[in-house]
């Protein structure tokens, strides 16, 4: 019996979510699984009108007590739990992730909602002693304003949830511009969030809006003077375009851009542990995570042994339809990604690299899918090619002799997102985490660079953008700080001992 078409599965998922099936509009959506059209949706309306609606919602929402704002996220989290299987499958169909990764993305949204609910009673300020008698100083955090969220195809739901959960609980409306490759997941998430908002009387219209369309929408949001924050996830090139436009009007940017993540494996490392981490970090999501492992620095004494095991593991991975059991590597997002993958491997070989794997894979019933096997490339040195991120499962391996040499090579790239070291030597671990160690925003020990939890702020340095999302104190990016001084005395002393009382009675 033939399997149901992906468009049929999509219709079934949307019916289960209680939402209309998106089949009409100007934007056709194709699944990377087999290249088939699975739906269509209408392009966005007027950006200015959307911002105006959001601005009106902000005036009301900022005065709603934070615990009541958290109620929206509590209800949203319950709906996500209820529809985790269907929504996770939709993520897999539209982005090409294997089923467990699609489910994991929805779980990350659930975790983010739980975090935001707790945060709704913990938006703490500070009280400080004053140098003036009878005075008190304090810092308070207030809602910022309209927040625009621009997301990429590789995490079509979770990254929006990182931003939306915090923005909403902090008192802000959200306008979401998803990737034009994954708008159906966005429609489903928006539908569930609106359902959650319907149960909270204080939630005004326009609090969460969705704008589907081409990249120009993101530019329009960046240029709009009433958009207080633009949180954008994507390529470094995209960040270079967005950031100056927001800065020109003194807006605020939160950027999550490219990564070129490295791992150092030392002579005393647990190689079984390192191998498991390398394979997932390099091959998971078909190499299409911003935290994907792309550079591996192995001590020369263990390189032959470890690299042989990595090669064997890559060769054993099942590449295929991500909806099928046992598959660990799904498709690249489109043919352009496959072309970039091939060009990078050809250049690596021309530069003296030994390429193992990386070939295209034909998958039954998915002839128009874009499947490649993960590639291990043994490089003689870290060339300009290695310093450039290719968004596919290519792992460049290089040998080192001294740890400081490996750290220097690790840091000698424009990006600075995620990093890791495998070692059982406390001094090596502490060195890597010190000011003289990794220059990345994420610095891990005995765990790969990918798979971050929402409890820690996520983001990187240098060309990775400098933004921080999700846990820790990342909520402050969605708020403005006010410093207040309260005089409860009958005097008016000036700070720093200044006197200005001549001629005053």
**Is 290 one of the catalytic residues?**
yes
Active-site annotation holder among 71, 94, 105, 256: 256
The enclosing H or E element of 22 equals none
**Is 461 one of the catalytic residues?**
no
What is the C-alpha to C-alpha distance for residues 172 and 204, in angstroms, rounded to an integer? Answer: 11
Tokens of 384: 């300009």
118-123 long-range CB contacts below 8 Å, 24 or more apart? 118/70, 119/70, 119/166, 119/169, 119/475, 120/66, 120/67, 120/69, 120/70, 120/73, 120/169, 121/66, 121/67, 121/70, 123/66, 123/170, 123/475, 123/479
> 211 near 240, Cβ under 8 Å?
no
> 209 near 174, Cβ under 8 Å?
yes
Active-site annotation holder among 170, 253, 290, 440: 290
In the chain, the largest separation of any two C-alpha atoms, in whole Å, equals: 98
Query: CB neighbours of 301 closer than 8 A, spacing ≥ 6?
Result: 267
What is the C-alpha to C-alpha distance for residues 278 and 359, in angstroms, rounded to an integer? Answer: 19
Tokens of 436: 């003289």
CA distances to 20, 41, 173, 185 from 10, in Å: 11, 13, 29, 10
> 487 near 137, Cβ under 8 Å?
no
What is the C-alpha to C-alpha distance for residues 321 and 36, in angstroms, rounded to an integer? Answer: 13
Query: CB neighbours of 419 closer than 8 A, spacing ≥ 6?
Result: 261, 262, 263, 410, 432, 438, 440, 442, 443, 444, 449
Would you put residue 28 in left (φ > 0), alpha (ψ -120 to 50) or beta? beta
> 168 near 149, Cβ under 8 Å?
no
Q: Please provide the DSSP assignment of 421-475 as one string.
A: EE-S-HHHHHHHHSTTS--SSEEEESS-S----TTSEE--EETT-S--EESTTGG
CA atoms within 13 A on the CB side of 331: 28
- Residue numbers annotated as active site: 256, 290
């Amino acid at each position: 019996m033939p399997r149901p078409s992906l468009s049929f599965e999509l219709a079934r998922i949307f019916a289960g979510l209680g939402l209309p099936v998106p089949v009409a509009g100007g934007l056709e959506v194709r699944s990377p699984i087999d290249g088939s059209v699975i739906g269509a949706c209408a392009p966005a309306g007027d950006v200015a009108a959307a911002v105006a609606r959001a601005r009106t919602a902000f005036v009301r929402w900022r005065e709603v007590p934070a615990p009541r704002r958290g109620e929206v996220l509590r209800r949203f989290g319950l709906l996500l739990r209820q529809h985790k299987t269907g929504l996770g499958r939709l993520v897999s169909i539209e982005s090409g992730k294997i089923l467990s990764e699609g489910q994991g993305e929805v779980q990350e949204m659930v975790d983010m909602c739980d975090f935001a609910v707790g945060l709704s009673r913990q938006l703490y300020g500070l009280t400080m002693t004053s140098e003036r008698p009878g005075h008190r100083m304090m810092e308070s955090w207030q809602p910022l304003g309209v927040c625009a969220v621009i997301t990429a195809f590789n995490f079509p739901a979770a990254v929006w949830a990182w931003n939306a959960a915090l923005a909403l609980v902090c008192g802000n409306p959200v306008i979401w511009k998803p990737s034009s490759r994954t708008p159906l997941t966005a429609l489903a998430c928006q539908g569930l969030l609106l359902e959650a908002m319907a149960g909270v009387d204080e939630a005004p219209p326009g609090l969460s809006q969705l704008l589907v369309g081409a990249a120009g929408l993101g530019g329009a949001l960046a240029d709009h003077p009433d958009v207080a924050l633009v949180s954008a996830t994507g390529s470094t090139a995209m960040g270079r375009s967005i950031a100056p436009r927001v800065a020109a009007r003194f807006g605020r940017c939160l950027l999550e851009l490219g990564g070129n993540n490295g791992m150092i494996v030392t002579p005393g490392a647990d190689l079984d542990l390192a191998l498991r981490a390398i394979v997932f970090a390099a091959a998971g999501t078909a190499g299409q995570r911003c935290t994907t492992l792309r550079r591996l620095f192995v001590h020369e004494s263990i390189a032959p042994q470890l690299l042989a095991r990595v090669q064997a593991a890559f060769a054993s991975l099942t590449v295929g339809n991500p909806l099928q059991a046992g598959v660990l590597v799904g498709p690249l997002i489109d043919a352009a990604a496959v072309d970039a993958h091939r060009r990078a491997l050809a250049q690596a070989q021309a530069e003296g690299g030994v390429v193992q794997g990386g070939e295209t894979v034909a998958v039954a019933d998915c002839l128009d899918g874009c499947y490649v096997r993960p590639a291990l490339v043994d490089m003689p040195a870290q060339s300009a090619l290695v310093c450039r991120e290719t968004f596919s499962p290519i792992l460049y391996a290089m040998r080192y002799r001294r740890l400081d040499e490996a750290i220097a090579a690790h840091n000698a790239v424009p990006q600075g997102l995620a990093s890791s070291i495998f070692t059982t030597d406390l001094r090596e671990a502490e060195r890597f985490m010190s000011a003289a160690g990794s220059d990345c925003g994420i610095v891990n020990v005995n765990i790969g660079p990918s798979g971050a939890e929402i409890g820690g702020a996520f983001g990187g340095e240098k060309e990775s953008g400098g933004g921080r999302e999700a846990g820790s104190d990342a909520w402050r990016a969605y708020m403005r700080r006010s410093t207040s001084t309260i005089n409860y005395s009958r005097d008016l002393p000036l700070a720093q001992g200044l006197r200005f009382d001549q001629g005053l009675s």
